[in-house]
Amino acid sequence: MQIYIDGAFHDRQNAKISVFDHGLLYGDGVFEGIRVYEGCVFRLREHLERLYESARAIALEIPIPPEAMIDVVVETARRNGRRNAYIRLVVTRGEGDLGLDPHNCKRATVICIVDDVKLYPEELYRQGLKVITASTRQVGPGTFDARIKSLNYLKSVLAKIEARRAGALEAVMLNEEGFVAECTADNIFIVKRGALLTPPLWDGALAGITRGTILELAARMGIPAREERLARFDLFNADECFLTGTGAEIIPVVDIDDRRIGEGVPGPVTMRVLEAFREMITRDGVRVPF
Residues 106 and 229 in one domain: no
Q: CA-CA distance, 14 to 36, in Å (whole number)?
A: 24
Q: Where are the beta strands (DSSP E) in 79-214?
A: 85-92, 109-115, 129-133, 170-174, 180-183, 187-192, 195-198
What pLDDT does residue 256 have?
Answer: 98
What pLDDT does residue 207 have?
Answer: 94
Residues 82 and 139 in one domain: no
Residue type, 115: D
What SS3 class is residue 180? strand
The confidence band for 14, taking pLDDT boundaries of 50, 70 and 90, is very high
The confidence band for 140, taking pLDDT boundaries of 50, 70 and 90, is confident
Q: How many residues does the chain have?
A: 290
Q: CA-CA distance, 149 to 147, in Å (whole number)?
A: 6
Residue 19 CA: distances (Å) to CA of 11, 95, 98, 119, 155: 19, 8, 10, 28, 23
Where residue 100 sits, what CATH number does that domain have?
3.30.470.10
Residue pLDDT, tens place only, 127-137: 999 999 999 99
Helix (H) or strand (E) holding 254: strand 249-256
**Rg for the chain (alpha carbons), in Å?**
19
Of 106, 130, 149, 155, the catalytic one is 149
Contact status, residue 173 vs residue 183, Cβ threshold 8 Å: yes
pTM, rounded to two decimals: 0.94
What pLDDT does residue 274 have?
Answer: 93
Residue 12 CB partners (closer than 8 Å, separation 6+): 1, 3
Residues 130 and 270 in one domain: yes
Residue pLDDT, tens place only, 102-113: 999 999 999 999
Residues 65 and 131 in one domain: no
What pLDDT does residue 2 have?
Answer: 97
Q: Is the pLDDT of residue 139 over 90?
A: no
Q: Is the pLDDT of residue 119 over 90?
A: no
How much is the mean pLDDT over the chain? Answer: 95
From 200, 208, 218, 198, select the one nearest 269 (Cα to Cα). Answer: 218
Residue type, 276: A
Contact status, residue 199 vs residue 205, Cβ threshold 8 Å: yes
160 flagged as catalytic: no
Contact status, residue 206 vs residue 182, Cβ threshold 8 Å: yes
From 80, 139, 72, select the one nearest 112 (Cα to Cα). Answer: 72
Q: Is the pLDDT of residue 41 over 80?
A: yes
Contact status, residue 129 vs residue 120, Cβ threshold 8 Å: yes
**Single residue among 64, 96, 115 that ends a domain in this structure:** 115
Q: CA-CA distance, 231 to 239, in Å (whole number)?
A: 15
Q: Where are the beta strands (DSSP E) in 195-234?
A: 195-198, 225-227
Residue 20: inside a domain: yes
Q: What mean pLDDT do residues 28-39 have?
A: 97
**Single residue among 47, 80, 115 that ends a domain in this structure:** 115
Domain boundaries, position 265: 124-280
What pLDDT does residue 91 have?
Answer: 98
Residue type, 148: I
Q: What mean pLDDT do residues 201-219 have?
A: 95
- Residue percentage of the chain with pLDDT more than 70: 100
Residue pLDDT, tens place only, 244-271: 999 999 999 999 999 999 999 999 999 9
Residues 88 and 150 in one domain: no
Q: What mean pLDDT do residues 143-158 have?
A: 93
Q: Is the pLDDT of residue 48 over 80?
A: yes
What pLDDT does residue 9 have?
Answer: 98
Q: Is the pLDDT of residue 144 over 90?
A: no
From 267, 271, 253, 244, select the one nearest 43 (Cα to Cα). Answer: 244
